Structure 1
């Protein structure tokens, strides 16, 4: 399933590429595939908004390429192998990587790297990190979160950070509001399909969980 989706995604990227970016896309992208499969696709739900080998201009005027970029969140994702980025790196290359990271920051992007070992051994942890990032920046213009009332946004952001079912008492603690007010906020979120009831009965629910629709809303234009 992933292989087919990746193949279609990669071909679309190649069709729209030229010059050095095209050459970069035709290299061995094993690490990039692992990043997409282990973290980005499970969290984002789609590869559609991502750009491989995203071209930028460094502070020195050189072209640099981000492994994967999500422009809507102005975030650059990287997969770093210990062997190529630490064990066998030259001093000049090490310095270049620092300049490259600063250039990404100067251009207003969040630099969000993962190691190959993390992707292979701690995929769930890597996904939680990205969920937390989305929860923290998900209310910026263009992501859809700013269309929700502030209390609903806050509940979703806390829920993304927790990544586990929450109760009404948790919402009261997050929002510092009375129980009835928090119950109304949760009802609105449930009505909009942004949280789902977990456990309980048809008349009384004890816990809630953020929905995939809500996660998608965090990074939708």
Structure 2
């Protein structure tokens, strides 16, 4: 499916689960700049909307509510992504709004979130920078590289994410089954294929593999998506 179809399904899915103020903010706050970011930056780099939440309700430690343009909820640390139009965030911002915006960012950081901000001018004039920034985010914060794994089937990408999450440890067939929601036979077949493809290697013998880890040639200088 192309961008428009996937985007519509993703947005409708979130809309159907929202009520009250959260639903209103999604309906009214998700506009031109946010869709431009998704279509011109996120979709070309990532290719899906997994783990990405629009107009995400954020509550700080004092109980104050804020709304983030996007929240990318991934292990090990969530990321807030903001799209800033010049008129909204500079020319038309009074002193209280300016203070509130800074307090909001501080609250996000103090809750151990990452944060990225894009101007709508960059979204229109410098897509190379914007796309490179998202690709670097995936590599630096989530151990991914869109170029290396974007063509892999979804289940194999999820196995790679599992392997990255466990780091220097290994994982077993049961872990893969739980991660993918499939049976032993299906998981074992996928794992064997990924060993043959050079993404994984055995961590427990060669005749019959029970434990897996990232292949040695993949753990140095290569990141996964």
Offset at 1:144? 4.2
CA shift in 2, pair 1:3/1:25, >3 Å: same
Return 5+ residue gaps in structure 2 as ranges.
145-160, 170-194, 201-217
Partner of 1:40: 42
Query: 2:18 matched to 1:17?
Result: yes
Q: How many residues align?
A: 160
SS in 2 for 1:8: helix
1:82-97 to 2 correspondences below 5 Å: 82-97=86-101
Query: 2:140 matched to 1:136?
Result: yes
In the aligned structure 1, how far is the partner of 2:103 from the partner of 2:4? 34
Question: Residues 53-102 of structure 1: CA distance to partner in whole angstroms, max 9, x if unpaired?
Answer: 11111354211111111110410111000011111111100000000001
Question: Residues 19-67 of structure 1: CA distance to partner in whole angstroms, max 9, x if unpaired?
Answer: 2110011115111111111222222220132111111113542111111
CA shift in 2, pair 1:125/1:63, >3 Å: same
TM-score (norm 2): 0.63
1:7-156 to 2 correspondences below 5 Å: 7-27=8-28, 29-72=31-74, 73-139=77-143, 144-147=163-166
Q: CA RMSD in A?
A: 2.8
Runs of 4+ in structure 1 over 6 Å off: none
Partner of 1:202: none
In the aligned structure 2, how far is the partner of 1:144 from the partner of 1:95? 42
TM-score (norm 1): 0.64
Return 5+ residue gaps in structure 1 as ranges.
151-187, 194-209
